Structure 1
C-alpha cells in the first residue's frame, strides 16, 4: 500500500551530482515504496534545485532504522555546533 507521505522544506546548501556540485534549495522527505532500496517501504530523501532541472538532484533511500539513526546524529551535530557558539 502506498503511504503518500511526502513533505517539502526550503533549505540552503550544496549537493554533488554526476556533473559536480550544485546549489540545493529544497529537501523532499517521504516514506513510501523505494525505487531501488530492498525494502517494501523506505525513508526517501531528495535534495534538489528545481530551477536547475532534474539533473540537480541527490536522492537517498533508507530503512526506518537508518532514518532514526541519521536523525539522532543530525540532532547531536546541531546541538554540538550550537554549543560552540559559532
Structure 2
C-alpha cells in the first residue's frame, strides 16, 4: 500500500552526479515504496537542482534514517560547540 508521505524543503548545497558537481536547491523526503531497496517501504531522499536531469536519490530503511538524523544532529552540535557555524 502506498503511503503518499512526501515532504519538501528548500536547501542550499551541492551534489555530485554523473556529470560532476551541481547546485542543490530542494530536498524531497518521502516514506513509500523504494525503487532499489528490497524493503516494502523506505525513507527516500531526492536532492534536486533547478534542472530536472540533475538529481541524487537515496533510499534507506527506517533505522538507518533515524541513525542518519542523529548523526547529523550530533555533527551540528559539535560544530556549534566549536563556534564553527557562522
For this structure pair, what is the TM-score category when the shorter chain's length is used for normalisation?
A: over 0.9
Q: How many angstroms apart in 1 are the aligned matches of 2:54 and 2:80?
A: 30
Point out 4+ residue stretches in structure 1 off by more than 2 angstroms. Answer: none
- SS at structure 1 position matched to 2:77: helix
Q: How many angstroms apart in 2 are the aligned matches of 1:25 and 1:81?
A: 23
The aligned counterpart of 1:28 is 28
The aligned counterpart of 1:61 is 59
Q: How many angstroms apart in 2 are the aligned matches of 1:81 and 1:38?
A: 35
The aligned counterpart of 2:71 is 73
Partner deviation per Cα, 1:2-50 (whole Å, 9 max, x = no partner): 100000000000001101100000000010000111100000000001x
Q: How many angstroms apart in 2 are the aligned matches of 1:67 and 1:52?
A: 26
The aligned counterpart of 2:18 is 18
Structure with more of its chain in helix, by fraction? 1
Q: How many angstroms apart in 1 are the aligned matches of 2:17 and 2:8?
A: 20
Unaligned 5+ segments in structure 1 are none
RMSD: 0.7
User: How many residues are aligned here?
Assistant: 84
